[in-house]
Structure 1
């Protein structure tokens, strides 16, 4: 009788050993290095590389508005106007008052000679930044090009009121007077509640710098004095979310939505707050409401599918992701998620097709490679699995599951046990609490007659998953070989308690009786 492993996706065959593997999580990496590489590529005018890197950052950090904004800047520099517009719009979906994105979006529309769109953009900015000379100048330029000369004249003059040494505004104002023969009247614009707006802009700047602690009192003061100030309510919610104060943040998102029912970002953040607070059903409700308001809002549809997936509502998850793929076939990791959903439903051919398409669309996405390797292992295509896992390990060198699967493949390829043990050691170095890796290493130690080491691994794995029947059985086998009959009896009894319908139940019961009789004789 040898040790046994629980059956899941991958099977081993060490005597009576049954094998398994856990679905792992791709670790989240800090963005600093990748962001630095993207910026260096942009600075060196290597726009193609910068675009690729910023897209990777967006996939990894889908709620960080700075990355689609930076992508928009790169597209703008590269003259890819439609892509720049899409990137800035994505930024504004995440943060509706990301003024730099509005400013650049307006500049793109000016470049495209779409004056009406540019006017709309800069007029919106000035609702919140009424003392911004750059926004006034750009609005004046759009009015000028659109033939709205009176409005252009007033806007140029407002620039000079705010910044008397603005030579471009002065020059264009003179040119406008020469073209139209008009005089240069003084602009008479009223700036409402400038102090309130200045405080909001100060808080906004602090949040852009991720200085949440400093921004919070400014925003709390603003919403106390001006409870109907929509964007201050929203920004305070975002600040509280960043500080982990999700219950308080939720209150401000609710207030934002009450003041502006079509505030897309507030709906989205409200849903995420409910998720953080352990109320996924409320999150699903909010996301469905959001998509009724804005059906083409892909971040919301993605999170809806993700939550259905994580809530084990697979049919709705698939339907939601299929809707999303009809709008954008390359969106984030949706192809991969569809593959995994089919994989979990034992629909292997569909899963394989989605994983392969995911790799074609995103060649640097490691999870698709190692999920494909599991299918290859199931089909006993070990050489193919080895190639897929080698690629995955290059892309994700700190993912313990990849090394666990490499150990599994090398065992099936009848490689020396030392090779598999090396990979298992690496997996456990990354994640010391990886129970499947501990279990498999214990089995390999047992096969090499290193029974004491095997018992230690089984014991540690059981400290993490005490109700795992296969580990209880394996530990019992190791204890028998170590001559520790009392401990073996306890482990075997636990095995039968956790797996009462075990195929070897009678054999284990007989062994327990023999161990008890042996203990009485020795006693």
Structure 2
């Protein structure tokens, strides 16, 4: 190759390198571009510009700080935590980073990391120091460092700043001492001072829950979610509280949203089963209840829901299966025992109903059908003594014509001639089913009472 050709190629290459260098933006230019996008409300473009800046200089603190701020604004707290932590590590001003990073740590429940945030020599203003300090003190309580939390709160209270966090920091000693009733009134003052402050709404909701004020807790958590709509943990708490308050209609959309994130959650499936049962969708209620059971949920309440739903769908064997698991946990005469007995007399385990009936008291006329079926099962099992006991229970309860027919037929079934008492009035009662009248007539013939049978 000629020398002139080589020289020409080298010159062209140099020009190309120079041109490419001129076309590449600097880190500062990417940051400036990001700020312009933010002014125009285009967060996505701003994020791209900042990521380009970080790609050029991975240890540049400013683009990571700016990116962390955007993520915090968009409530992407995990990404915010990552970028703000790196900004702090790479030397960005702690006074600017710590208030934002403490918020991210709070939302990601990074309690240990929160307790390691430096408050002294950080350049924080008094207001910011109390804000970050309150969150740090809560995390100290969470990990069991109560003494440190109280000491920190006392030091920050002494700053006497004009901020809602000055009210909140005074809650720490009360929380450490479990003086929740007293803490409620102080938290309410903080909420009233700053109705949209998420920290005040959150701690107040928790305090209402701890003091058994479910309805107030619901309202406080609703207010919190209006400010922090992505907080899954609070949605979980609110859904549970709404179910406890018997407001399944409001709870179910929250439960559905959470199930979309974790469809195998035992507790969420339990809440869903309750919501479906309240809405009379018993097939779905049973489905979700059994998902919860099969994924390890052991709550006896869940077995009751499953048993009730199975009973309502006439799946009596399954109802018995679920209700039997909690029978020994219940006091005698509990309504769930009646449900178990009603399921048993319609199931393949009907012979077992005797032991459940024996635990029931205070029978009412509405129990006559149950006693009637149970007595028949005892007769099938040749246990006439048990059948007679149930018939005696029915005797004082039967009111309607049909119930009296059931009682007398059972008496006839055990060859009790007293079962024929009152037959005349029964046969004349138009409400008595034809089949029952025929059975009574046959019983009369069997006992030699031909004239009465003809009538």
What range is the shorter-chain TM-score in? Answer: 0.3 to 0.5
TM-score of the pair, normalised by structure 1: 0.40
TM-score of the pair, normalised by structure 2: 0.45
Which structure would you say has the larger Rg?
Answer: 2
